[in-house]
Amino acid sequence: MAENSNGIRPLVAGNWKMNGLAAALTEAAAVRDALPSLGTGAPEVMICPPATLLSQLASTSRGSALAVGAQDCHPSASGAHTGDISAEMAKDAGASAVIVGHSERRADHGELDRIVQAKASAAHRAGLSAIICIGETNGERVAGLTLTVVERQLRGSIPGTADKTNTVIAYEPIWAIGTGLTPSPNDVAEVHAAIRKNLEDRFGADGLSMRILYGGSVKPSNARELLSLPNVNGALVGGASLKAEDFLAIIRAYA
């Protein structure tokens, strides 16, 4: 088991976003089948497919080292919400976690911090881990507001039910997602240190042990450098998680 100095096992989670038909499950199967060969240094590995593939991937991954997560959930357990799925439905389909507050949800669907907090609470209600995403825009970064934005999102998006077992924070600078751009290692370390202090101030010992993932154009060529930084306890990977070869190369940064 890969652990850092705080005894935190890293998590490498793949967010497939709105990508993947049934044929794409062969890529997930290749990841699943490769995990046993990675040995004791392997992180926890998760794939979050689109909802159409969630149940099938969970079924074929049951009993393996590959965890399965959902990409979103509604705050309510049930109701007249056409097109939405609840956290309970995601769990019933086989998910063990759900991503909430991704920047694409915040931007495309107008999700405010309070909505993200409600969704994280729903995940906890259903017995799922919540992967809560935060991050600044390029305009906020240029204006020197990165830490202000991150701290505001942490305060507004994390529910009081959070602890080290049911909550993961993913820092994804919006300007780096899908652009090929990444912050400098020093920039990433600074933001993750601020996140860690915020979590410790609010949650004490649990805050010291919550996993903080980095996301934003993580790829095989930069994974080892980024994932070795202090307070970086894994990655939330977008496009590079769609191909088993690339995703496994990132996972092997911990080997």
81 is catalytic: no
- Of 27, 44, 172, 192, which residue is the catalytic one? 172
First to last CA, the chain: 10
| Cα(235)–Cα(70) distance, integer angstroms | 16
Q: Which amino acid is at 100?
A: V
| pLDDT digits 0-9 by tens, 147-182 | 999 999 999 999 999 999 999 999 999 998 888 787
| Cα(31)–Cα(181) distance, integer angstroms | 26
| Cα(168)–Cα(223) distance, integer angstroms | 19
- Of 102, 104, 136, 192, which residue is the catalytic one? 102
| Cα(11)–Cα(167) distance, integer angstroms | 12
pLDDT score recorded for residue 39 = 85
| pLDDT digits 0-9 by tens, 26-56 | 999 999 999 999 988 899 999 999 999 999 9
pLDDT score recorded for residue 181 = 81
**What is the number of other CB atoms lying within 10 angstroms of the CB of residue 9?**
15
Question: How sure is the predictor about 4, in pLDDT bands with cuts at 50, 70 and 90?
Answer: low
Q: Could you please report the per-residue DSSP string of the chain? A: ----TT-PPPEEEEE--S---GGGHHHHHHHHHHGGGGGGG--EEEEE--HHHHHHHHHHHTTSSEEEEES--BSSSSSS-TT--BHHHHHHTT-SEEEES-HHHHHHS---HHHHHHHHHHHHHTT-EEEEEE---HHHHHTT-HHHHHHHHHHHHS-TT--TTTEEEEE--GGGTTTS----HHHHHHHHHHHHHHHHHHHTHHHHHSEEEEESS--TTTHHHHHTSTT--EEEESGGGSSHHHHHHHHGGG-
| Cα(216)–Cα(192) distance, integer angstroms | 14
| Cα(171)–Cα(102) distance, integer angstroms | 10
pLDDT score recorded for residue 5 = 47
pLDDT score recorded for residue 141 = 94
Global pTM value: 0.96
**CB burial of residue 197 (10 Å; 0-12, 13-18, 19+):** middle
Q: Which amino acid is at 41?
A: G
Query: Does residue 255 register a pLDDT over 80?
Result: no
| Cα(71)–Cα(123) distance, integer angstroms | 11
Question: How sure is the predictor about 1, in pLDDT bands with cuts at 50, 70 and 90?
Answer: very low
Mean pLDDT of all residues in 182-194: 95
Question: How sure is the predictor about 75, in pLDDT bands with cuts at 50, 70 and 90?
Answer: very high
Q: Which one of 3.40.190.10, 3.20.20.70, 3.50.50.60, 3.40.50.11810 gives the CATH number of domain 11-254?
A: 3.20.20.70
3 is catalytic: no
Query: Does residue 193 register a pLDDT over 50?
Result: yes
